[in-house]
Structure 1
Amino acid sequence: MYETVKMLHSYWAYLTLLLIVIATLNALFKYFGKKEFHPLDFRISLFTLIVTHIQLLIGIVLLFAYLDVISGAGMKEIMGNSVLRSNVVEHPLMMIIAVVLITIGYSKHKKKLTSTPKFKMLAIFYTLALISVLAKIPWNTWF
């Protein structure tokens, strides 16, 4: 089960990262270009929200499966091993923060009535989320 969930989490991550980049760039370009907010912009931000939440759920399942694999390791061993610490503590925490930022940005943009504040909320929170994701992607296993 662990290998299947790991594979699903890994492949879904490509889609997740792609959508976060697209949504962030869309918000930034349209905010600075003073463009109007269209239904496509809403769909891009919503689809990014949905995909990131699915990735989070897959990641939580993977984390519990991974904890089952390393159940004999204590916290001292996990924190002392940089790979284990990254997989069990740092990566999940940063990804949760990224999903929270995307959720906050999406929720705040819906409350704004005009285009510029909508794009501003999306640009700020989605950019912070993108930075969080890029900071803790395990790049050595991606390529």
Structure 2
Amino acid sequence: MYTGIQHLHSYMTYLVLLGLVISLVVALGGLFGSKVFTDKHRKLSLLGLIPAHLQWVIGVILYFVSPLGFSNFSGTAMGDAVSRLYILEHPLTMIIAVVLITVGYARAKRQLGEQRGFKSIAIFYTLALILILIRIPWNAWPNS
């Protein structure tokens, strides 16, 4: 079960990154194209929100079933960079990223009919994407 959840969490990252990039491209196109944020754009921004939330749920499950997660939490493990990454840095950074995505989406959907919706998506999704990219454990990334 653990291995299956771990692989799902790893490969789901591709969907999260793709959804965020698509949402960002749409937001930047609307922002620089002086368009108005419509319901269609709101729905496209869900491509960044939904996979991120699903990934977060899978990550929480993995955190509690993985030998690298919560069960490994100790003072000794915090002294080891790899253990600290899995116990604290990766989960905390991803929670912050998901919160940023959620705030950006919530702000944008209240700004339908205005251009500011694009700005909210662009700013918050970009910050979240940066956080996600810097805290993916690239050394454990599946090769195939």
Q: TM-score, normalised by structure 2?
A: 0.89
* Alpha-carbon distance in structure 2 between the residues aligned to 1:113 and 1:43: 11
Q: How far does residue 35 in structure 1 lie from its aligned partner after superposition?
A: 2.1
Q: Indicate the residue corresponding to 1:14 in structure 2.
A: 14
Q: What's the secondary structure of 2:94's corresponding residue?
A: helix
Q: How far does residue 80 in structure 1 lie from its aligned partner after superposition?
A: 1.0
Q: Is the 8 A contact 1:56 1:96 kept in 2?
A: yes
Q: How far does residue 67 in structure 1 lie from its aligned partner after superposition?
A: 4.6
Identical-pair percentage: 47
Q: Indicate the residue corresponding to 1:123 in structure 2.
A: 122
Please identify, of 58-67 and 35-44, the stretch whose mean Cα deviation from structure 2 is larger.
35-44
TM-superposition CA deviations, 1:2-52 (whole Å, max 9, x none):
111101101111111111111122212221221233444222212321111
Alignment length, in residue pairs?
A: 142
When residues 68 and 10 of structure 1 are mapped into structure 2, their CA distance, relative to the original with a 3 A threshold, is: closer
* Aligned: 1:26 with 2:26: yes
TM-superposition CA deviations, 1:84-129 (whole Å, max 9, x none):
1101100010110010001001111111143311101111111111
* Alpha-carbon distance in structure 2 between the residues aligned to 1:3 and 1:127: 31
Q: What's the secondary structure of 1:37's corresponding residue?
A: coil
Q: Calculate the aligned-residue CA RMSD, in Å.
A: 1.9
Q: Is the 8 A contact 1:24 1:130 kept in 2?
A: no
Q: Indicate the residue corresponding to 2:52 in structure 1.
A: 52
User: Residue 98 of structure 2 aligns to which amino acid in structure 1?
Assistant: V
Gaps of 5+ in 1: none
When residues 32 and 87 of structure 1 are mapped into structure 2, their CA distance, relative to the original with a 3 A threshold, is: same
When residues 9 and 114 of structure 1 are mapped into structure 2, their CA distance, relative to the original with a 3 A threshold, is: same
* Alpha-carbon distance in structure 1 between the residues aligned to 2:109 and 2:125: 14
* Alpha-carbon distance in structure 2 between the residues aligned to 1:100 and 1:37: 21
When residues 118 and 14 of structure 1 are mapped into structure 2, their CA distance, relative to the original with a 3 A threshold, is: same
* Aligned: 1:90 with 2:107: no
Q: Indicate the residue corresponding to 1:110 in structure 2.
A: 109
Q: Indicate the residue corresponding to 2:74 in structure 1.
A: 75
- Structure with higher helix content: 1
